[in-house]
Amino acid sequence: MRPVHVAAAQLGPIQKAEPREAVVARMLALLDAAADKGCDLVVYPELALTTFFPRWYMEDQAEVDTWFEAEMPNAATQPLFDAAKAKGVAISFGYAELTPDGHHFNTSILTDKTGTIIGKYRKVHLPGHDEFDPERAFQHLEKRYFEPGDLGFPVWQTLGGVFGMCICNDRRWPETYRVMGLQGVEMVLLGYNTPSVNSQKSAEGPEDRLFHHRLVLQSGAYQNATFVVAVAKAGVEDGHPLIGGSVIVDPNGKIVAESLTEDDELVTAVCDLDETVFGKETIFDFARHRRIEHYGRITSQTGVEVAS
């Protein structure tokens, strides 16, 4: 038994006008509740500190930068790190990162139980577009405000196991899980802000969006014999609805816990990392079964190449 008691700390909506300090207060309340339940690890959503600002078109870079964090921890988030240390709980959350040399990333971090950052991930698969798109029902400007992550998909040994991170749209790409799976990942942590309607296809509403969301998490977990903890920012932000559906998925691809609301909500499970062993040693024993000589296109070509 290698139990990790994990909490998916779903956040309800954050309005554009809501300051970071108010959000951190909500995150602290969830952290307290998780600590009271005996959790080892609390996972918050992508861009947890603010509204999902990539829905807003901005031309002034100074305005854009107000949504970013130039340091982590900083004044607004220091209480989170202090509480993690005081409670002896590891945390993970996402934020918009502005580096000292002016780069912009959609980032998440992982701490140990002393509130020390031990891992950083920068979102690789940025969805959306980079210019104002009048054809869309609403904007999704991640490709405008962020650069693609430059750290790959590392994993970290902590809490008795092997942990990885990804963010939102990364979860739709099997490469995400596989690169971590090839490093023996046992629990993948991810946050997301997923609009309830496809901005380019209004018929694709929350039911379909939740279906796809669960489908990719469950298959990624099963195909790599890993737990996956997926945490929503949910509910209606300034008129824009986001799906909930925070889930903890086991290495069989089964959902073991799921949120019931679109508000601040704690979803918890005790995950025995030894449950990853059977899959990794049998049907997904990569060393015995993978045939990399036939996978070349996956890394040699980016887009589709149709034979003539």
Q: Is 59 a catalytic residue?
A: no
**Closest approach of Cβ 277 to a second copy, in Å?**
12
**Closest approach of Cβ 169 to a second copy, in Å?**
8
DSSP state of 195: B
Q: Is 46 a catalytic residue?
A: yes
Q: Is 293 a catalytic residue?
A: no
Mode of pairing for the β-strands spanning 227-232 and 90-98 = unpaired
Q: Which one of the spans 26-34, 124-132, 231-239, 258-266 is the region binding a second copy (CB under 8 A)?
A: 124-132
CB 167 within 8 A of CB 106: yes
DSSP state of 54: G
Tell me if 290 contacts a second copy by CB under 8 A.
yes
- Distances in Å between the Cα of 256 and the Cα atoms of 44, 86, 155, 249 are 18, 29, 23, 6
Select from 52, 253, 266, 267 the one that contacts a second copy (CB under 8 A).
253
CB 92 within 8 A of CB 45: no
Q: Which of 47, 61, 41, 43 is nearest to 18 (CA)?
A: 47
147-166 residues in contact with a second copy (CB under 8 A) are: 148-149, 152-153, 155, 157, 162
Tell me if 275 contacts a second copy by CB under 8 A.
no
DSSP state of 147: P
Catalytic: which of 39, 69, 166, 168? Answer: 168
CA distance 96 to 144: 13
CA distance 162 to 157: 5
Q: Which one of the spans 9-17, 37-45, 62-70, 210-218 is the region binding a second copy (CB under 8 A)?
A: 210-218
Binding residues vs a second copy (CB under 8 A): 124-127, 148-149, 152-153, 155, 157, 162, 169, 172-175, 178-179, 181-184, 200-201, 208, 211-212, 215-216, 218-220, 222-223, 252-254, 278, 280, 282-292, 294-307
User: Which amino acids are annotated catalytic?
Assistant: 46, 123, 168
